[in-house]
Amino acid sequence: MAPGEKIKAKIRKNLPMTGPQAPTIKELMQWYCLNTNTHGCRRIVVSRGRLRRLLWILFTLTAVALIFWQCALLILSFYTVSVSIKVHFQKLDFPAVTICNINPYKYSAVRDILSDLEQETRDALKTLYGFSEMKSRKRREAESWSSAWEGTRPKFINLVPLLFFDEHATGKVARDFVTGRKRKVSGSIVHKASDIMHVHQSNQVVGFKLCSNDTSDCATYTFSSGVNAIQEWYKLHYMNIMAQVPLEKKINMSYSAEELLVTCFFDGVSCDARNFTLFHHPMYGNCYTFNNRVNETILSTSMGGSEYGLQVILYINEEEYNPFLVSSTGAKVIVHQQDEYPFIEDVGTEIETAMATSIGMHLTESFKLSKPYSQCTEDGKDVLVTNIYNAAYSLQICLHSCFQTKMVEKCGCAQYSQPLPKGANYCNYQQHSNWMYCYYKLQQAFVREELGCQAVCREACSFKEWTLTTSLAQWPSVVSEEWLLSVLTWDQGQQINKKLNKTDLAKLLIFYKDLNHRSVVENPDNTIPSLLSNFGGQLGLWLSCSIVCVIEIFEVFFIDSLSILTRCWWQKTKEWWARKQSPRCPEASLSRRGQDNPAIDIDEDPPTFTSALRLPPAPGTKMPGTPPPRYNTLRLEKAFSNQLTDTQVPDES
């Protein structure tokens, strides 16, 4: 006999009844347990004694449970990230640098538009604090501003009255600054005329009242200090007025690049106003962005240190400052990406005059993984808010856009300090008489997260961050002041017709401290291969199981068991049918038993030696009288109908 045949025979001997041929579920199970590759099952069958078997069943079940638990944990923790921090040393792109004068417009240019407002502000100051004259500003004295005042009716105060509240008295009493007329705020009227000069008492506050159209619905805003109140009040009216001025006129009223930048030096090479692009900010006027020119390559730095960065000397003309709008002097600078919108009012660094401000930068890039790892967005396209800025998506842009859109929806007009959405106009009294009230209401709702903007907007997935180290030094030094100022005056040439003062100038140095830049990158902690190998580890550890075992289990428990069940059921029906056809034959059921159990005695046969003595059948011998085992012919591969007819044959015979 050839070894191949031998092996085949051995296999046949070992596996007398393959899967589906096993006549009962129990045998199938036994067969499965003995032959499966999974380790626990075999023990169950092989073990002797009930306790041991029970223990093995328990162990196997525990192992299965553990596998399920551990695999569930693996799946649940699939979407986790690990963070890696890398340091690169390379040539770095220089960021865009936006520089603004804190004062938006030259006061001499904008004075005509704001003259009425200025008058009323002064008057309010006079009536409230007895302040009458700006001594520090010589130029103000030259212009007679009080002459025009007499004839005109105050329009701003009437629109949004500045009020003076006296909480000291019983009930709240407000006093109008201009008319001196008392207004009832809550309930009772107080007859005693309160003295204006008592502002310094702590329980007297200043504020203003905003009313909607019908004036029945009013909101009062109070401030602990008159400085805040007047600035807020002024700003409100200022926005109103400026909203009606066309953009071109505003750009002309503001500073030109040649005026703002006295000298410019980048990477050891001279630069000038042409290297800067204009960016008009509603609240800061003309701002200039360095290294942001369209269709030009982004400048890069290949050396660290202040010599190789941007050095500019700025001309801050303090005389042209608006006294009520801005109270500090200097410039604002912001470092940002080329396609990013510079939020000067939010994140700018302020620069002092007569100082050299040295800003050392350090670049950190962050990359987050978007869905399904986190909620961040790659480019903002999947965020429901339309981006009204002409810049790349950021969380701040989204929030501002969201607010602006809501503003247009609710109040019918757009807020001045943000860009215009399509088809909207900036708010002003003429068209939208109660916009201020609406705006303040909306602002409060926004802060309290009632508008849903914070919920809709999502952070951006990647961002660059420049960590700034700012330090100051005196500039120009005592000994170099004289020559430096005269040369700078010559440089400025015809832009101004006076000698520069050092308090009109500010020096700014922006540079990379070194060319190391860090990138913080999120990586998926788990990949499909590692998940599978973890599964494999768990399956192997507890049961020495593999995907083959899983297929086996599926095969045995579903396909084979089902086929056995179907067969049983089919035979039962057939029997039932046969009984129905021939009710005289009640023994039919016995023959069925014979098929289930080949060792059973069948009464019809004449008793043999073994059956008579009820001895167990000799192993390996065929039972006399029992139909020859046809199991081998029962293959799962065959159609069930065929098999059934096969099995039926001995029954009938």
Partner 1 sequence: MHVKKYLLKCLHRLQKGPGYTYKELLLWYCNNTNTHGPKRIICEGPKKKAMWFVLTLLFTSLVCWQWGIFINTYLSWKVSVSLSIGFKNMDFPAVTICNASPFQYTKVKCLLKDLDNLMEAVLERILAPEPGHANANATMALNFTVWNYTPLVLIDERDPHHPVVLDLLGDNYNGSARGRVCNAQGCKVAMRLCSLNGTVCTFQNFTSATQAVTEWYVLQATNIFSQVPRKELKKLGYPAERLILACLFGAEPCNHRNFTSIFYPDYGNCYIFNWGMADKILPSANPGAEFGLKLILDIGQEDYVPYLTSTAGARLMLHEQKSYPFIKDEGIYAMAGTETSIGVMVDKLERKGKPYSQCTMNGSDVPIRNLYSSYNTTYSIQACLRSCFQDHMIQNCSCGHYLYPLPPGEKYCNNQDFPDWAYCYSALRRSVNQRETCISKCRESCSDTKYKMTISMAEWPSESSEDWIFYVLSKERDQRDQSNNSSISRKGIVKLNIYFQEFNYRTIQESPANNIVWLLSNLGGQFGFWMGGSVLCLIEFGEIIIDFLWITIIKLVAFFKSLRQKQAHARYAGPPPTVAELVEAHTNFSFQPDVADPGVYVSGQALPIPGTPPPNYDSLRLQPLDIIESDNEGDAI
Site for partner 1 in 339-368 (CB under 8 A): 355-356, 358, 360, 362
**Up-side HSE of residue 266: CA atoms within 13 Å toward CB?**
19
Alpha-carbon gap, residue 100 to 638, rounded angstroms: 86
Q: Is 1 exposed, middle or buried (0-12, 13-18, 19+ CB in 10 A)?
A: exposed
- 309 versus 380: smaller Cβ distance to partner 1: 309
Three-class secondary structure of residue 285 per DSSP: strand
- DSSP string of 309-355, one letter each residue: SEEEEEE--GGG--TTT--S-SEEEEEE-TTS---HHHHPEEE-TTE
> Which of 49, 493, 583, 586 is close enough to bind partner 1 by CB under 8 A?
493
Residue 426, beta-bridge partner list: 414
How many residues touch partner 1 under the rule CB under 8 A: the total is 94
Shortest CB 313 distance to partner 1, Å: 7
Give yes or no for residue 507 binding partner 1 (CB under 8 A): yes
Closest CA to 409 of 419, 394, 423, 396: 423
Residues 583-602 interacting with partner 1 (rule: CB under 8 A):
none
The binder of partner 1 chosen from 13, 150, 153, 490 (CB under 8 A): 490
Beta bridge partners of 206: 164, 223
The reply on whether position 556 binds partner 1 by CB under 8 A is no
With CB under 8 A as the contact rule, the residue among 30, 47, 115, 516 that binds partner 1 is 516
**Least CB distance to partner 1 at residue 577 (A):** 30
Regarding 170 and contact with partner 1 (CB under 8 A), the answer is no
User: What CA–CA distance (Å, rounded) separates 195 from 183?
Assistant: 15
Residue 517: exposed, middle, or buried by beta-carbon count in 10 A (0-12, 13-18, 19+)?
buried
Asked if residue 307 binds partner 1 (CB under 8 A), the reply is: yes
- Is residue 8 within the footprint of partner 1 (CB under 8 A)? yes
Shortest reach from residue 285's CB to partner 1, in Å = 23
428 residue type, one letter: N
Give the footprint of partner 1 on residues 226-285 (CB under 8 A). Answer: 262-265, 268-272
Q: Pick from 539, 556, 564, 623 the residue near partner 1 by CB under 8 A.
A: 539
Using the rule CB under 8 A, is 497 a contact of partner 1? no
Helices and strands counted in the chain (H then E): 21, 20
Task: Report in angstroms how near the CB of residue 642 gets to partner 1 at its nearest.
Answer: 14
Report the 10 Å Cβ neighbour count for 210: 22
Burial class (CB in 10 A: 0-12, 13-18, 19+), 35: middle
**52-60, 136-144, 277-285, 537-545 -> range binding partner 1 (CB under 8 A):** 537-545
Rounded to 5 degrees, what are φ and ψ at 364?
A: -130, 125
**Would you state the structure tokens that stand for residue 582, as one six-digit string?**
């021939």
Asked if 637 interacts with partner 1 (CB under 8 A), we say yes
DSSP bridge partners of 165 = 174, 205
Q: Name which of residues 388 to 427 contact partner 1 (CB under 8 A).
A: none
Q: How far apart are CA 355 and CA 313, in angstroms?
A: 10
Q: Which stretch binds partner 1 (CB under 8 A): 166-174, 527-535, 565-573, 603-611?
A: 527-535
Pick between residue 18 and residue 611 the one whose CB is nearest to partner 1: 18
Q: How far is the CB of 40 from partner 1 (least distance, A)?
A: 13
Q: Which residues on neighbouring strands pair with residue 210, listed in sequence order?
A: 219
Q: Return the structure tokens found at 158.
A: 């009437």
Residue with tokens 């006027």: 285
Shortest reach from residue 514's CB to partner 1, in Å: 6
Between 222 and 263, CB nearer to partner 1? 263
Of the candidates 201, 192, 196, 193, which has an alpha carbon nearest to the alpha carbon of residue 167? 201
Q: Are 470 and 349 in contact (CB under 8 A)?
A: yes
Q: Which stretch binds partner 1 (CB under 8 A): 2-10, 126-134, 289-297, 382-390?
A: 2-10
Q: Which is nearer to partner 1, 12 or 249 (CB)?
A: 12
| Alpha-carbon torsion, ordered 337, 342, 348, 354, to 10 deg | 90
Which of 53, 183, 406, 635 is close enough to bind partner 1 by CB under 8 A?
635
Nearest to 475 by CA among 263, 204, 223: 263
The correct pick among 116, 350, 514, 651 for binding partner 1 (CB under 8 A) is 514
Does 642 engage in binding with partner 1 (CB under 8 A)?
no
In DSSP terms, which residues pair with 313 in a beta bridge? Answer: 263, 507
Tokens 């302020």 belong to which residue? 350
Stretch touching partner 1 by CB under 8 A, among 136-144, 222-230, 456-464, 506-514 = 506-514
Please, what is the end-to-end C-alpha distance for the chain in angstroms?
A: 37
List 66, 578, 636, 644, residue binding partner 1 (CB under 8 A): 636
302 binds partner 1 (CB under 8 A): yes
Q: Are strands 162-166 and 204-211 parallel, antiparallel or unpaired?
A: antiparallel
- Nearest distance from residue 78's CB to partner 1, in Å? 15
Residue 119 Cβ, how far from partner 1 at the closest point, in Å? 37
Pick from 534, 561, 563, 647: which binds partner 1 (CB under 8 A)?
534
Among 546, 571, 591, 610, binds partner 1 (CB under 8 A): 546
Q: Which two tokens stand for residue 92?
A: 């770095």
Taking CB under 8 A as the rule, does residue 296 contact partner 1?
Answer: no
Site for partner 1 in 61-100 (CB under 8 A): 82-87, 89-91
Q: Is 313 near partner 1 (CB under 8 A)?
A: yes
Residue whose token pair is 């009962």: 24
Residues 451-470 that bind partner 1 (CB under 8 A): 469-470
CA dist 616 → 183, 609, 610 (Å) = 116, 11, 7
- Which C-beta is closer to partner 1: that of 22 or that of 545? 545
Question: 88 or 168, CB closer to partner 1?
Answer: 88
Site for partner 1 in 24-53 (CB under 8 A): 35, 37
Q: Per CB under 8 A, which of residues 103..132 are in contact with partner 1?
A: none
Q: Per rule CB under 8 A, is residue 553 in the interface with partner 1?
A: no
